[in-house]
């Protein structure tokens, strides 16, 4: 079989399925492995124990899926925003763009499976496994090797046309497809992402201490948010886009084509008080099919309490916090007490 020609057809099939770019990477991540181990040794993964548990498996695709000879990397745009961003302070709640619509995991896995089925129709049965943030995969390293972009100083993948507003998915397979050339880097001397980070989580170019990252703190971190970091979180209740918003390569990034990624339940324009008023039943119902639902109601309230503590001290804000002083969750009560103290209120 002409595998070079097959690789080009695969890219075309992928684009027809809604991926904006498809590339092929080899499985040699030996250059990335030492950096991964150093990151783990510094404890920068925080409470993400699974990162340490899988260790070097992330850097060894052939160990993760036996027989893997190449990785088909795919990219899909998700941002529907075409107007100015919400203020990152004030009474409105900020939810990361990727989480305002439906959960991308199911859609991405479905499209990756369709691509696998199309390949099998051409080649016959072949060995593969598809991933969409669902296994210990070094997505950015593989996508960079596949020519889909370069790793920016904020550690996310960047592309000159698409910026960084996209999801990544991979197909590990046993086909000997020829790899694409890696993309060149275009960050230059720019350090806007480093300078804008509210918590200074980007400690140096290409180095992220997740323990300080707002996305980690509001999503992956299960316990109390460190008190010294709470004032820096502002109104960000699920994730953070600051480093992407200021990136010059995102200035003209194209909007997503997928309707599923459009904002739902008003999450692009909701107030902190409004979201804090949701009951657990409303949280479960309104966020059904949303990536936010996986953090659970307790952490959702924890995050919003921090946002309310950072919001202007109106009577409405104080009343909302007072209404949850006796919340069944000790975690929520702790953050409510902190928020009230920020407004000069004693948690009576």
- Helices and strands (H and E) in the chain: how many: 15, 10
DSSP-based three-state secondary structure for 342: helix
- HSE-CB at 147 with a 13 A cutoff on CA atoms is 13
Tokens of 161: 């046309």
Residue in the block written with tokens 């209120």? 345
Catalytic, 174? Answer: no
Asked whether the beta carbons of 37 and 30 are under 8 A apart, the reply is no
DSSP 8-state code for residue 259: G
Cα separation, 184 vs 237, in Å, equals 35
Distance CA 204, CA 113 (A): 38
For 144, phi then psi, to 5°, come to: -65, -40
Q: Which is the catalytic residue, given 28, 133, 260, 327?
A: 133
Kindly state the tokens that stand for 312.
């202007």
> What H or E segment, with its residue span, contains residue 129?
strand 128-131
**How far apart, in whole angstroms, are the C-alpha atoms of residue 132 and residue 148?**
16
Cβ burial 273-309 (10 Å sphere, 16+ → b, else e)? bebbebeeeebeebbeebbbbebebbbbbbbbbbbbb
Query: What residues contact 340, with CB distance under 8 A and at least 6 apart?
Result: 309, 318, 321, 322, 325, 346, 347
* Catalytically active residues, by annotation: 133
């Amino acid at each position: 079989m002409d595998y070079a020609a097959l690789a080009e057809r695969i890219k075309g099939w992928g684009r027809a399925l809604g991926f904006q770019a498809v590339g092929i990477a080899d499985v040699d991540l030996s250059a990335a492995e030492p950096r991964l181990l150093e990151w783990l040794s510094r404890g920068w993964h925080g409470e993400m124990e699974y990162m340490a548990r899988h260790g070097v498996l992330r850097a060894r695709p052939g160990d993760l899926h036996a027989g893997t000879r190449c990785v088909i990397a795919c990219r899909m745009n998700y941002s529907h925003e075409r107007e100015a961003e919400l203020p990152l302070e004030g009474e409105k709640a900020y939810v990361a763009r990727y989480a305002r619509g439906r959960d991308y995991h199911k859609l991405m896995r479905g499209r990756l499976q369709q691509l696998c089925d199309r390949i099998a129709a051409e080649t016959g049965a072949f060995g593969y496994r598809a991933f969409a943030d669902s296994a210990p995969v070094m997505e950015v390293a593989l996508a960079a090797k596949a020519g889909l972009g370069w790793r920016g100083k904020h550690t996310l993948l960047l592309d000159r046309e698409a910026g960084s507003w996209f999801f990544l998915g991979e197909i590990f397979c046993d086909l000997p497809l020829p790899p694409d050339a890696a993309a060149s880097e275009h960050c230059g001397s720019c350090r806007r992402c480093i300078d804008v980070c509210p918590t200074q989580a980007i400690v140096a170019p290409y180095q992220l201490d997740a323990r300080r990252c707002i996305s980690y703190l509001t999503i992956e971190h299960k316990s109390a948010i460190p008190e010294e970091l709470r004032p820096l979180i502002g109104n960000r209740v699920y994730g953070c886009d600051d480093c992407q918003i200021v990136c010059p390569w995102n200035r003209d990034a194209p909007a997503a084509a997928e309707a599923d990624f459009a904002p739902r339940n008003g999450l692009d324009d909701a107030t902190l008080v409004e979201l804090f008023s949701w009951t657990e039943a409303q949280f479960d119902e309104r966020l059904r099919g949303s990536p936010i639902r996986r953090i659970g109601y307790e952490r959702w309230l924890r995050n919003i309490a921090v946002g309310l503590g950072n919001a202007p001290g109106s009577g409405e804000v104080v009343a909302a916090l007072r209404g949850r002083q006796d919340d069944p969750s000790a975690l929520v009560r702790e953050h409510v007490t902190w928020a009230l103290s920020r407004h000069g209120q004693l948690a009576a």
